[in-house]
Amino acid sequence: MPTASQVATHVPPADPAHPAVGAATSLLDGYRPGDRFLATPGRTLLASGAARPVPHDRRPLDERVTATLAEARAAGQESPVVIGAVPFDHEAPAALGVPAELRIAPPLASDPLIALPAGVPGTADWRIRPVPGPEVYGAGVAAAVERMWRGEFSKVVLARTLELTSSAPLDLPAMLQRLARRDPVGYTFALPTAPGRTLIGASPELLVSRHGQQVVANPLAGSTPRSSDLAEDVRRAATLLESVKDLHEHAVVVDAVHQALAPHCAELTVPARPTLIRTATMWHLSTTVTGTLSSPGISALALACALHPTPAVCGTPTATARQVIAETEPFDRGFFTGVVGWGDAGGDGEWVVTIRCAEAEERTLRLYAGAGIVAASEPEAETEETAAKFRTFLGAVGAEL
């Protein structure tokens, strides 16, 4: 029987008829800066205290994680789990660790108490600085489109940031509460990435999960902002489902996921057409890819490394898109468009694309948002899409563009 400081490898699904009242929200309420919090549609995790860090060296990341988990087990941990973040640049250090104490609960969406409203954001005096400014970002989109028409590449994801500075110390627990309660069926996280620095956000996109032999990926690509008017919101959703530009962008990503997973799967199911998912601020084209592994030896993290970065966050061809990003974006992405998640010693785990997020440090937040640029993209529309994506986090801190 696992103790409170141990982790079960598998969490039984919540029984809708007998929801675990307060089990998940107690972990959300228990979060403090420096903890590792991750909520997924399958479980809620909260780790506190020091963690055994995954080292940064020349070995592949999944090998380093496997070795660290083995060390934790040899030191007496019955069911060690790694949790944390992987950056966009696969050569940069990851922020992954094996906590000595980890509490686990059913998903937030199964807890009736998640329906209680979060507190209203305080009246912080936010100073907001866009990097780059909207006009510069739009010019970067136009330049990328021109290069695509010349045949240099077919897609690139370009991002911009907002730097928010507060007159008061940041209240990370309150931000996390608002993010989690706004989209409890998504992937909400608050993870330390350096001393005094926290990656916090609410992503809608599962990169890959593995449970036993079963694999699931849920690529998202093609988006449109939602509307507060119901009729307009439905019209936008229907238009997205028929958009030639967005369907093409989505198909490129799904094909890349298919190609990356196929060598590892005995069976792989890829739906012919996408469906829609929604967050509080956006509609997204979504395809759920499911498969059965051909070998039990490959972990969820190894699959995530094979997939990352997908064209949904980088572009295609990947090497060219990376170069365009480096030439166009006047900042280091860090952990934005990287991966966050958990994995156990048996290879199971869930790894999520790091979007709708911010890096928090003392009184400063850096928000990130990107848009997929293809030959049919229009600078004004892509700038508006990034502004809509910012609203997920702006609403959590009581700030407006």
Tell me if 254 sits within 8 A of 312, measured CB to CB: no
Identity of the residue numbered 385: E
Residue found under tokens 């209680």: 116
Give catalytic residues, as residue numbers: 155, 205
CA distance 366 to 316: 26
CB 45 within 8 A of CB 38: yes
Q: Are 198 and 359 in contact (CB under 8 A)?
A: yes
130: left (phi over 0), alpha (psi -120 to 50) or beta: beta
SS3 assignment, position 45: strand
CA angle 31, 37, 38 (to 5 degrees): 145
Residues 379 and 139 sit within 8 Å (Cβ to Cβ) = yes
Give how far Cα 117 sits from Cα of 120, 177, 180, 181, 400, Å. Answer: 9, 9, 10, 7, 20
**Residue for token digits 């196929």?**
262
Angle at 96 between CA 91 and CA 98, to 5 degrees: 145
Say how far apart CA 131 and CA 137 lie, in whole Å: 9
The answer to whether 190 touches 198, Cβ cutoff 8 Å, is: yes
Compute the distance between CA of residue 156 and CA of residue 179 in angstroms, rounded to an integer: 28
Q: Hey, what amino acid is at 189?
A: F
203 near 356, Cβ under 8 Å? yes
* Alpha helices (H) along 124-229: 134-149, 172-182
Q: Burial, 142: exposed, middle or buried (Cβ in 10 Å; 0-12, 13-18, 19+)?
A: middle
Q: Which two tokens stand for residue 73?
A: 């087990």
> Residue 120 and residue 178: Cα distance in Å, rounded?
8
